[in-house]
Structure 1
């Protein structure tokens, strides 16, 4: 992804510390399956890949450890944390609540142009679903939720969502099938249609069903 550390300040990484940028880089590799659950993350390999010292990589792994994405095992090193079904359900329940609150706070703020943008986001998920591209679909679905939070204009909700969604994305990377994606999408589509119709009760109910289907 990055040939050297100067590129780490490009795009979505701009304005963040080097360890934060590296942490996002590692997280992206985990979500996209380049580093699998239970696999050891080798500091030296990451530092060589990014042409940086091992110190910021070590700090990046600590940030991911705090977020619950990785764990340090004595005499083994840092691995991608495997999650129990109980943990996934707990994170999922929290995420449902956050998105429902985002939908609630967004009421009265959906102007015509906002709805048009939301429709475009939905169309992107439809495209990925039809192409059976699970990983890209997950990214597009997450963009929908971020957009809802941006309309809700609640930074706290957005921050909490980011923390919980990282766990779910790592889980989904290893557990989602095309069937899971299709089941999730059918309900996500109805939730977004609820927002477009100003039927926010429908939107909240359907997002509850969508996320539950994502962890079944």
Structure 2
């Protein structure tokens, strides 16, 4: 028998996190504790603890006199996330180019190849492609060898996944993986400067993200 060692609070947080990141709950959507507790067959205190966990991850917010809501990204949020991505991912790519072992390079190329194959086989699966995009960048941060950078990146990882979904809404998904090729090649070649430049170039300009956000409101 497989025993689930997670607490009910952790299971509830995982359930909600998955639905929010995958776009199954709308940005700004109101969450009613009592309704959610009934749907999940949990106590309101357990649900509240799960929501508090997600609030620390930036996925939900508690508004005075209005209760809990799914986070939403406005133009200022996109500007901030864009600049965080540039700072973290560009530097991570340069550090990965310096630090990557042969095993790391093989792992990066394997993830990149899976990403390419997904774009060819399932070009309309936006969520799956966005996830593959995030997984590749997440791996680069890991390969950078910086525990502090990895920790900081983890703190905004869920919002970054939502951010990536927005950037993919008006993009030719068949080209999503290919746009990362020069960056992966630079990292594997140990070219720190080019890796930094290619990582920055790979990030969609914030003006395009803001327009995409407006078009989908």
TM-score for both structures, normalised by structure 1:
0.79
Q: 1:18 to 1:105 in 2, by over 3 A?
A: farther
Segments ≥4 residues shifted beyond 6 Å: none
Q: Which residue of 2 aligns with 1:198?
A: 190
Q: 1:127 to 1:184 in 2, by over 3 A?
A: closer
| 1:189 Cα deviation from its structure 2 partner | 2.4
| 1:197 Cα deviation from its structure 2 partner | 2.2
- Deviation track 1:160-211 (CA, whole Å, cap 9, x = no partner) reads 1122232232234356326264565443222112112222222221211222
Q: 1:137 to 1:213 in 2, by over 3 A?
A: farther
1:207 to 199, 206, 214: 199
Structure 2: runs of 5 or more not aligned: 210-217
Q: Using CA pairs below 8 Å that are at least 6 residues apart, which structure has the higher relative contact order? A: 2
Count of paired positions:
204
Structure 1: runs of 5 or more not aligned: 1-5, 10-16
| 1:146 Cα deviation from its structure 2 partner | 2.3
| Partner-residue secondary structure (3-state), 1:37 | coil
Q: Which residue of 2 aligns with 1:177?
A: 169
| Partner-residue secondary structure (3-state), 2:99 | coil
In 2: Cα distance, 1:92 partner to 1:164 partner: 12
Q: Does 1:60 align with 2:50?
A: yes
1:159 to 151, 164, 171: 151
| Partner-residue secondary structure (3-state), 1:139 | helix
Q: CA RMSD in A?
A: 2.7
Q: Which residue of 1 aligns with 2:140?
A: 148
1:69 to 37, 41, 59: 59
